[in-house]
Structure 1
Protein backbone atom coordinates (compact mmCIF):
# COMPACT_ATOMS: atom_id res chain seq x y z
CA UNK A 1 0.00 0.00 0.00
CA UNK A 2 2.77 2.47 0.90
CA UNK A 3 5.47 1.18 -1.48
CA UNK A 4 4.66 3.67 -4.25
CA UNK A 5 5.58 6.53 -1.89
CA UNK A 6 8.72 4.99 -0.41
CA UNK A 7 11.09 7.27 -2.33
CA UNK A 8 9.41 10.35 -0.81
CA UNK A 9 9.02 8.83 2.66
CA UNK A 10 12.63 7.59 2.80
CA UNK A 11 14.12 11.11 2.43
CA UNK A 12 12.01 12.48 5.29
CA UNK A 13 14.23 13.14 8.35
CA UNK A 14 11.78 11.17 10.50
CA UNK A 15 12.86 7.94 8.78
CA UNK A 16 16.60 8.57 8.56
CA UNK A 17 18.66 5.38 8.98
CA UNK A 18 15.81 2.99 8.18
CA UNK A 19 16.35 0.67 5.19
CA UNK A 20 13.67 0.67 2.48
CA UNK A 21 12.61 -2.92 3.09
CA UNK A 22 12.32 -2.33 6.80
CA UNK A 23 10.53 0.98 6.23
CA UNK A 24 7.94 -0.73 4.04
CA UNK A 25 7.31 -3.39 6.68
CA UNK A 26 7.14 -0.80 9.47
CA UNK A 27 4.57 1.33 7.63
CA UNK A 28 2.36 -1.72 7.10
CA UNK A 29 2.59 -2.30 10.84
CA UNK A 30 1.90 1.30 11.92
CA UNK A 31 -0.73 2.05 9.22
CA UNK A 32 -0.50 5.87 9.00
CA UNK A 33 -3.34 7.41 7.00
CA UNK A 34 -2.92 9.05 3.59
CA UNK A 35 -5.12 11.89 2.33
CA UNK A 36 -5.48 13.54 -1.10
CA UNK A 37 -5.97 17.29 -1.63
CA UNK A 38 -6.76 19.47 -4.63
CA UNK A 39 -4.89 22.66 -5.52
CA UNK A 40 -5.71 25.51 -3.08
CA UNK A 41 -7.58 23.12 -0.77
CA UNK A 42 -7.03 23.57 2.96
CA UNK A 43 -5.08 20.66 4.39
CA UNK A 44 -5.31 22.03 7.92
CA UNK A 45 -6.61 25.29 9.39
CA UNK A 46 -5.00 26.98 12.39
CA UNK A 47 -6.99 26.03 15.48
CA UNK A 48 -8.22 22.72 14.05
CA UNK A 49 -7.88 19.67 16.26
CA UNK A 50 -4.37 18.25 15.90
CA UNK A 51 -4.34 14.62 14.80
CA UNK A 52 -0.71 14.10 13.82
CA UNK A 53 2.24 15.52 11.90
CA UNK A 54 2.08 15.55 8.11
CA UNK A 55 4.55 14.31 5.50
CA UNK A 56 4.21 15.44 1.89
CA UNK A 57 4.18 12.39 -0.39
CA UNK A 58 3.55 14.29 -3.61
CA UNK A 59 2.85 17.89 -4.56
CA UNK A 60 3.56 20.82 -2.25
CA UNK A 61 1.88 22.92 0.43
CA UNK A 62 2.25 26.38 1.94
CA UNK A 63 2.43 26.81 5.71
CA UNK A 64 0.72 30.13 6.45
CA UNK A 65 -0.31 32.39 9.30
CA UNK A 66 -2.40 35.53 9.49
CA UNK A 67 -0.72 38.74 10.66
CA UNK A 68 -2.27 41.37 12.92
CA UNK A 69 -4.27 42.95 10.08
CA UNK A 70 -5.60 39.66 8.76
CA UNK A 71 -3.28 39.20 5.78
CA UNK A 72 -2.09 35.66 5.15
CA UNK A 73 1.69 35.33 5.27
CA UNK A 74 3.53 32.29 3.89
CA UNK A 75 5.96 30.98 6.49
CA UNK A 76 7.44 28.27 4.30
CA UNK A 77 6.63 25.86 1.49
CA UNK A 78 6.94 22.10 2.02
CA UNK A 79 7.49 19.65 -0.82
CA UNK A 80 7.79 15.89 -1.32
CA UNK A 81 9.61 14.35 1.64
CA UNK A 82 9.14 17.40 3.89
CA UNK A 83 7.18 17.27 7.13
CA UNK A 84 5.04 19.81 8.96
CA UNK A 85 3.32 20.10 12.33
CA UNK A 86 6.08 18.24 14.19
CA UNK A 87 6.45 20.89 16.89
CA UNK A 88 2.83 20.38 17.97
CA UNK A 89 3.09 16.58 18.09
CA UNK A 90 3.54 16.37 21.87
CA UNK A 91 1.83 19.57 22.97
CA UNK A 92 -1.05 19.45 25.44
CA UNK A 93 -2.95 22.03 23.34
CA UNK A 94 -3.59 19.58 20.45
CA UNK A 95 -4.40 22.40 18.01
CA UNK A 96 -2.85 23.12 14.62
CA UNK A 97 -0.61 26.19 15.08
CA UNK A 98 -0.74 27.25 11.40
CA UNK A 99 -2.85 26.88 8.27
CA UNK A 100 -1.61 24.49 5.57
CA UNK A 101 -2.80 24.93 1.97
CA UNK A 102 -2.10 22.63 -0.98
CA UNK A 103 -0.30 24.56 -3.72
CA UNK A 104 -1.05 21.81 -6.23
CA UNK A 105 -2.72 18.42 -6.21
CA UNK A 106 -1.02 16.73 -3.26
CA UNK A 107 -0.99 13.61 -1.13
CA UNK A 108 -0.12 13.77 2.56
CA UNK A 109 0.62 11.05 5.10
CA UNK A 110 -0.34 11.75 8.71
CA UNK A 111 1.30 10.14 11.74
CA UNK A 112 -0.03 10.67 15.25
CA UNK A 113 2.27 11.06 18.23
CA UNK A 114 0.81 7.80 19.55
CA UNK A 115 2.14 5.99 16.47
CA UNK A 116 5.59 7.53 16.92
CA UNK A 117 5.98 6.88 20.64
CA UNK A 118 3.62 3.94 21.07
CA UNK A 119 4.78 0.38 21.53
CA UNK A 120 5.37 -1.28 18.16
CA UNK A 121 3.48 -4.61 18.02
CA UNK A 122 6.39 -6.25 16.19
CA UNK A 123 9.13 -4.57 18.26
CA UNK A 124 10.87 -3.60 14.99
CA UNK A 125 14.30 -1.96 15.02
CA UNK A 126 13.02 0.80 12.73
CA UNK A 127 10.62 2.03 15.38
CA UNK A 128 13.55 2.86 17.67
CA UNK A 129 15.03 4.93 14.84
CA UNK A 130 11.67 6.66 14.50
CA UNK A 131 11.71 7.75 18.15
CA UNK A 132 15.35 8.89 18.06
CA UNK A 133 14.81 10.81 14.82
CA UNK A 134 11.75 12.55 16.23
CA UNK A 135 13.68 13.63 19.32
CA UNK A 136 16.45 15.03 17.12
CA UNK A 137 14.00 16.88 14.87
CA UNK A 138 12.25 18.56 17.81
CA UNK A 139 15.60 19.39 19.45
CA UNK A 140 16.99 20.90 16.23
CA UNK A 141 13.83 22.99 15.78
CA UNK A 142 14.12 24.28 19.35
CA UNK A 143 17.76 25.23 18.80
CA UNK A 144 16.85 26.96 15.53
CA UNK A 145 14.15 29.01 17.27
CA UNK A 146 16.64 29.93 19.98
CA UNK A 147 19.10 31.05 17.28
CA UNK A 148 16.37 33.10 15.63
CA UNK A 149 15.89 34.98 18.90
CA UNK A 150 19.61 35.83 18.80
CA UNK A 151 19.18 37.34 15.33
CA UNK A 152 16.06 39.27 16.34
CA UNK A 153 17.95 40.83 19.27
CA UNK A 154 20.14 42.64 16.72
CA UNK A 155 18.52 45.96 15.87
CA UNK A 156 19.80 46.61 12.33
CA UNK A 157 18.87 44.62 9.24
CA UNK A 158 22.52 44.68 8.17
CA UNK A 159 23.57 43.22 11.50
CA UNK A 160 21.03 40.40 11.25
CA UNK A 161 22.10 39.52 7.70
CA UNK A 162 25.79 39.63 8.62
CA UNK A 163 25.28 37.44 11.67
CA UNK A 164 23.33 34.88 9.63
CA UNK A 165 26.02 34.76 6.92
CA UNK A 166 28.81 34.44 9.48
CA UNK A 167 27.00 31.51 11.09
CA UNK A 168 26.73 29.81 7.68
CA UNK A 169 30.43 30.46 7.06
CA UNK A 170 31.41 29.01 10.46
CA UNK A 171 29.25 25.94 9.86
CA UNK A 172 30.43 25.22 6.31
CA UNK A 173 34.02 26.48 6.58
CA UNK A 174 34.25 28.12 3.15
CA UNK A 175 33.63 31.67 1.91
CA UNK A 176 31.44 30.36 -0.91
CA UNK A 177 28.27 28.45 -0.03
CA UNK A 178 24.59 27.89 -0.76
CA UNK A 179 22.14 29.35 1.74
CA UNK A 180 19.70 26.86 3.25
CA UNK A 181 16.96 29.51 2.97
CA UNK A 182 15.63 31.18 -0.17
CA UNK A 183 15.17 34.97 -0.17
CA UNK A 184 11.57 34.90 1.10
CA UNK A 185 12.42 32.39 3.84
CA UNK A 186 15.46 34.43 4.83
CA UNK A 187 13.34 37.60 5.14
CA UNK A 188 10.75 35.78 7.26
CA UNK A 189 13.42 34.18 9.42
CA UNK A 190 15.10 37.53 10.13
CA UNK A 191 11.70 39.27 10.53
CA UNK A 192 12.39 41.86 7.83
CA UNK A 193 10.54 42.68 4.62
CA UNK A 194 11.72 41.09 1.39
CA UNK A 195 12.43 44.50 -0.26
CA UNK A 196 14.45 45.67 2.77
CA UNK A 197 16.48 42.43 2.74
CA UNK A 198 17.21 42.68 -0.99
CA UNK A 199 18.13 46.36 -0.66
CA UNK A 200 20.63 45.64 2.12
CA UNK A 201 22.15 42.67 0.28
CA UNK A 202 22.66 44.86 -2.79
CA UNK A 203 24.39 47.51 -0.64
CA UNK A 204 26.74 44.86 0.77
CA UNK A 205 27.48 43.68 -2.76
CA UNK A 206 28.14 47.23 -3.98
CA UNK A 207 30.49 47.81 -1.03
CA UNK A 208 32.48 44.71 -2.02
CA UNK A 209 31.64 42.77 1.14
CA UNK A 210 29.93 39.89 -0.64
CA UNK A 211 28.47 38.69 -3.90
CA UNK A 212 25.39 36.59 -4.44
CA UNK A 213 23.14 34.95 -6.99
CA UNK A 214 19.83 33.52 -5.81
CA UNK A 215 20.80 31.27 -2.84
CA UNK A 216 24.53 31.26 -3.69
CA UNK A 217 26.73 33.56 -1.59
CA UNK A 218 30.43 34.48 -1.81
CA UNK A 219 31.90 36.41 1.11
CA UNK A 220 34.63 38.76 -0.19
CA UNK A 221 35.46 40.63 3.02
CA UNK A 222 35.00 38.37 6.02
CA UNK A 223 36.48 40.84 8.51
CA UNK A 224 34.06 43.60 7.47
CA UNK A 225 31.16 41.16 7.76
CA UNK A 226 32.28 40.14 11.26
CA UNK A 227 32.35 43.76 12.38
CA UNK A 228 28.83 44.32 11.07
CA UNK A 229 27.60 41.23 12.93
CA UNK A 230 28.79 42.49 16.30
Structure 2
Protein backbone atom coordinates (compact mmCIF):
# COMPACT_ATOMS: atom_id res chain seq x y z
CA UNK A 1 0.00 0.00 0.00
CA UNK A 2 1.38 3.39 -1.05
CA UNK A 3 0.85 6.02 1.66
CA UNK A 4 0.27 9.53 0.25
CA UNK A 5 2.78 12.22 1.18
CA UNK A 6 0.28 14.86 2.24
CA UNK A 7 -0.09 17.55 4.94
CA UNK A 8 -3.16 15.63 6.12
CA UNK A 9 -0.85 12.92 7.49
CA UNK A 10 1.71 15.27 9.03
CA UNK A 11 2.82 13.94 12.42
CA UNK A 12 1.20 10.55 11.75
CA UNK A 13 3.34 7.41 11.38
CA UNK A 14 3.09 4.93 8.51
CA UNK A 15 1.57 2.33 10.83
CA UNK A 16 -1.04 4.82 12.04
CA UNK A 17 -1.86 5.64 8.40
CA UNK A 18 -2.50 1.95 7.77
CA UNK A 19 -4.84 1.80 10.77
CA UNK A 20 -6.65 4.92 9.52
CA UNK A 21 -7.02 3.29 6.08
CA UNK A 22 -8.73 0.25 7.62
CA UNK A 23 -10.69 2.02 10.37
CA UNK A 24 -12.06 4.76 8.09
CA UNK A 25 -13.06 2.35 5.34
CA UNK A 26 -10.92 4.16 2.75
CA UNK A 27 -11.63 3.36 -0.91
CA UNK A 28 -8.75 3.48 -3.39
CA UNK A 29 -9.52 4.08 -7.06
CA UNK A 30 -7.46 4.61 -10.21
CA UNK A 31 -8.31 7.02 -13.02
CA UNK A 32 -7.19 7.62 -16.60
CA UNK A 33 -6.46 11.04 -18.18
CA UNK A 34 -9.58 13.21 -18.70
CA UNK A 35 -11.69 10.84 -16.60
CA UNK A 36 -13.88 12.53 -13.99
CA UNK A 37 -12.70 11.82 -10.44
CA UNK A 38 -15.18 13.82 -8.37
CA UNK A 39 -18.31 15.90 -8.98
CA UNK A 40 -19.01 18.58 -6.37
CA UNK A 41 -22.65 18.72 -7.44
CA UNK A 42 -23.39 15.04 -6.86
CA UNK A 43 -23.60 15.41 -3.09
CA UNK A 44 -20.88 12.84 -2.53
CA UNK A 45 -19.77 13.22 1.09
CA UNK A 46 -16.16 12.15 0.77
CA UNK A 47 -12.67 13.64 0.86
CA UNK A 48 -10.14 12.61 -1.77
CA UNK A 49 -6.36 12.49 -1.44
CA UNK A 50 -4.29 12.15 -4.60
CA UNK A 51 -1.78 9.33 -4.13
CA UNK A 52 -0.12 9.57 -7.55
CA UNK A 53 -0.50 11.39 -10.86
CA UNK A 54 -2.09 14.82 -11.23
CA UNK A 55 -5.58 16.27 -11.49
CA UNK A 56 -7.38 19.57 -12.05
CA UNK A 57 -10.26 21.15 -10.14
CA UNK A 58 -12.24 23.08 -12.73
CA UNK A 59 -15.42 25.11 -13.03
CA UNK A 60 -17.55 25.09 -16.18
CA UNK A 61 -20.21 27.80 -16.36
CA UNK A 62 -23.52 27.64 -18.22
CA UNK A 63 -21.90 28.96 -21.40
CA UNK A 64 -19.32 26.19 -21.34
CA UNK A 65 -16.42 28.46 -20.36
CA UNK A 66 -13.81 26.57 -18.36
CA UNK A 67 -11.86 27.96 -15.41
CA UNK A 68 -9.16 26.07 -13.51
CA UNK A 69 -9.58 26.52 -9.78
CA UNK A 70 -6.72 24.35 -8.58
CA UNK A 71 -4.02 22.02 -9.86
CA UNK A 72 -3.55 18.88 -7.74
CA UNK A 73 -0.31 16.92 -7.40
CA UNK A 74 0.39 13.84 -5.23
CA UNK A 75 -0.73 14.65 -1.69
CA UNK A 76 -3.35 17.12 -2.94
CA UNK A 77 -6.72 17.03 -1.18
CA UNK A 78 -10.22 17.82 -2.48
CA UNK A 79 -13.82 17.53 -1.34
CA UNK A 80 -16.95 19.53 -0.53
CA UNK A 81 -15.75 20.57 2.94
CA UNK A 82 -12.69 22.17 1.29
CA UNK A 83 -14.61 24.06 -1.42
CA UNK A 84 -16.29 27.43 -1.06
CA UNK A 85 -20.01 27.60 -1.80
CA UNK A 86 -20.98 27.42 -5.47
CA UNK A 87 -23.66 30.12 -5.43
CA UNK A 88 -24.11 30.28 -9.23
CA UNK A 89 -24.78 26.59 -9.70
CA UNK A 90 -21.90 26.08 -12.17
CA UNK A 91 -20.44 22.63 -12.74
CA UNK A 92 -17.37 22.01 -10.56
CA UNK A 93 -15.46 18.77 -10.73
CA UNK A 94 -12.06 17.13 -10.44
CA UNK A 95 -10.70 15.54 -13.60
CA UNK A 96 -7.64 13.37 -14.07
CA UNK A 97 -4.73 15.02 -15.89
CA UNK A 98 -2.13 12.25 -15.62
CA UNK A 99 -3.11 8.69 -14.67
CA UNK A 100 -3.70 8.80 -10.95
CA UNK A 101 -4.67 6.90 -7.83
CA UNK A 102 -6.95 8.42 -5.18
CA UNK A 103 -7.86 7.57 -1.59
CA UNK A 104 -11.47 8.44 -0.71
CA UNK A 105 -12.33 9.07 2.96
CA UNK A 106 -15.90 9.27 4.34
CA UNK A 107 -16.31 12.96 5.19
CA UNK A 108 -18.01 12.30 8.54
CA UNK A 109 -14.82 10.63 9.79
CA UNK A 110 -13.01 13.95 9.42
CA UNK A 111 -15.75 16.15 10.87
CA UNK A 112 -15.99 14.54 14.31
CA UNK A 113 -13.56 13.74 17.07
CA UNK A 114 -12.72 10.09 17.61
CA UNK A 115 -14.91 8.44 20.27
CA UNK A 116 -11.86 6.51 21.46
CA UNK A 117 -9.80 9.71 21.51
CA UNK A 118 -7.21 8.20 19.15
CA UNK A 119 -4.26 10.57 18.86
CA UNK A 120 -3.71 9.99 15.14
CA UNK A 121 -7.41 10.54 14.36
CA UNK A 122 -7.48 13.84 16.26
CA UNK A 123 -4.19 14.92 14.67
CA UNK A 124 -5.61 14.24 11.22
CA UNK A 125 -8.62 16.47 11.96
CA UNK A 126 -6.29 19.26 13.14
CA UNK A 127 -4.29 18.90 9.93
CA UNK A 128 -7.49 19.27 7.92
CA UNK A 129 -8.22 22.62 9.59
CA UNK A 130 -4.71 23.82 8.71
CA UNK A 131 -5.27 22.67 5.13
CA UNK A 132 -8.53 24.63 4.90
CA UNK A 133 -6.63 27.75 6.00
CA UNK A 134 -3.98 27.13 3.31
CA UNK A 135 -6.66 26.75 0.65
CA UNK A 136 -8.18 30.06 1.76
CA UNK A 137 -4.75 31.64 1.20
CA UNK A 138 -4.54 30.08 -2.27
CA UNK A 139 -7.98 31.49 -3.06
CA UNK A 140 -6.90 34.98 -2.01
CA UNK A 141 -3.90 34.68 -4.37
CA UNK A 142 -6.22 33.70 -7.19
CA UNK A 143 -8.44 36.71 -6.48
CA UNK A 144 -5.32 38.90 -6.52
CA UNK A 145 -4.45 37.64 -10.01
CA UNK A 146 -7.98 37.92 -11.41
CA UNK A 147 -8.43 41.43 -10.01
CA UNK A 148 -5.81 42.74 -12.48
CA UNK A 149 -7.43 44.31 -15.51
CA UNK A 150 -5.00 43.52 -18.33
CA UNK A 151 -3.68 40.13 -19.42
CA UNK A 152 -0.13 41.42 -18.98
CA UNK A 153 -0.79 42.45 -15.38
CA UNK A 154 -2.48 39.12 -14.62
CA UNK A 155 0.56 37.25 -15.92
CA UNK A 156 3.01 39.46 -14.04
CA UNK A 157 0.99 39.12 -10.84
CA UNK A 158 0.92 35.32 -11.17
CA UNK A 159 4.64 35.14 -11.97
CA UNK A 160 5.41 37.45 -9.05
CA UNK A 161 3.52 35.17 -6.64
CA UNK A 162 5.37 32.12 -7.98
CA UNK A 163 8.70 33.95 -7.72
CA UNK A 164 8.02 34.77 -4.06
CA UNK A 165 7.49 31.06 -3.35
CA UNK A 166 10.08 29.43 -5.60
CA UNK A 167 12.71 32.02 -6.50
CA UNK A 168 13.61 33.51 -9.86
CA UNK A 169 13.24 30.26 -11.80
CA UNK A 170 10.28 27.93 -11.43
CA UNK A 171 8.18 25.37 -13.27
CA UNK A 172 4.53 26.08 -13.98
CA UNK A 173 2.26 23.51 -12.30
CA UNK A 174 0.23 23.20 -15.50
CA UNK A 175 0.40 23.78 -19.27
CA UNK A 176 0.19 27.21 -20.91
CA UNK A 177 -3.33 26.36 -22.08
CA UNK A 178 -4.28 25.64 -18.48
CA UNK A 179 -2.58 28.88 -17.39
CA UNK A 180 -4.89 30.79 -19.74
CA UNK A 181 -7.85 29.09 -18.06
CA UNK A 182 -6.41 29.87 -14.62
CA UNK A 183 -6.18 33.61 -15.32
CA UNK A 184 -9.51 33.51 -17.20
CA UNK A 185 -8.35 34.80 -20.55
CA UNK A 186 -8.14 33.75 -24.19
CA UNK A 187 -5.15 31.52 -24.88
CA UNK A 188 -4.15 33.27 -28.12
CA UNK A 189 -4.25 36.69 -26.46
CA UNK A 190 -2.21 35.37 -23.54
CA UNK A 191 0.41 33.88 -25.88
CA UNK A 192 0.81 37.29 -27.57
CA UNK A 193 1.43 38.90 -24.18
CA UNK A 194 3.94 36.20 -23.24
CA UNK A 195 5.78 36.87 -26.50
CA UNK A 196 5.97 40.58 -25.63
CA UNK A 197 7.30 39.75 -22.15
CA UNK A 198 9.98 37.51 -23.66
CA UNK A 199 10.98 40.05 -26.31
CA UNK A 200 11.06 42.79 -23.67
CA UNK A 201 13.54 40.81 -21.58
CA UNK A 202 11.12 40.44 -18.68
CA UNK A 203 10.92 36.64 -18.62
CA UNK A 204 12.35 33.61 -20.35
CA UNK A 205 10.00 30.70 -20.99
CA UNK A 206 11.00 27.21 -22.12
CA UNK A 207 8.07 24.82 -22.03
CA UNK A 208 6.76 25.06 -18.48
CA UNK A 209 9.97 26.53 -17.06
CA UNK A 210 9.83 30.27 -16.36
CA UNK A 211 12.87 32.39 -15.47
CA UNK A 212 12.39 35.95 -14.28
CA UNK A 213 14.93 38.28 -15.92
CA UNK A 214 13.69 41.69 -14.79
CA UNK A 215 14.52 42.97 -11.30
CA UNK A 216 10.95 43.94 -10.45
CA UNK A 217 7.95 42.41 -12.22
CA UNK A 218 5.23 43.42 -9.77
CA UNK A 219 2.37 44.89 -11.86
- How high is the TM-score relative to the length of structure 1? 0.75
What residue number does 2:200 align with? 207
1:50 positional shift = 2.5
Query: How well do the aligned residues superpose, as a CA RMSD in angstroms?
Result: 3.3
Inter-partner Cα distance in structure 2 for 1:38 and 1:175: 34
> Structure 1 residues 215, 171: closer, same or farther in 2, change over 3 A?
same
SS at match of 1:139: helix
1:17-51: CA deviation from partner (whole Å, max 9, x where unpaired): 32212211232222223346677654444521121
* Distance in 1 of aligned mates of 2:160 and 2:84: 33
Tell me, yes or no, if structure 1 residue 195 matches structure 2 residue 188: yes
Report the count of equivalent residues. Answer: 217
1:134 deviation in Å? 0.9
CA contact (8 A) 2:40 2:79 kept: no
Deviation at 1:87, TM superposition (A): 4.3
Corresponding residue number in structure 2 for 1:161: 155
SS at match of 1:98: strand
Name the counterpart of 2:105: 111
Q: Which structure has the highest strand share of the two?
A: 2
CA deviations 1:112-143 (Å, max 9, x no partner) are 33211323244332223312221121111112
- Cα distance change, pair 107–212 in 1 and its aligned pair in 2 (3 A): closer
User: How is 1:50-199 mapped onto 2 (pairs within 5 angstroms)?
Assistant: 50-57=44-51, 61-70=55-64, 78=72, 80-85=74-79, 87-88=81-82, 98-102=92-96, 107-172=101-166, 174-199=167-192
Q: Alignment partner of 2:2: what SS?
A: helix
1:62-112: CA deviation from partner (whole Å, max 9, x where unpaired)? 544333323666655645543322545797x9x996234456776532223
Structure 1 gaps of 5+ residues are: none
The 8 Å contact of residues 58 and 106 in structure 1, kept in 2 or not, is answered as yes
| CA apart distance, 1:205 | 0.7
Which one has the largest radius of gyration?
Answer: 1
- Native 8 Å contact 1:49 1:96 kept in 2: no
User: What 5-or-longer segments of structure 2 have no aligned partner?
Assistant: none
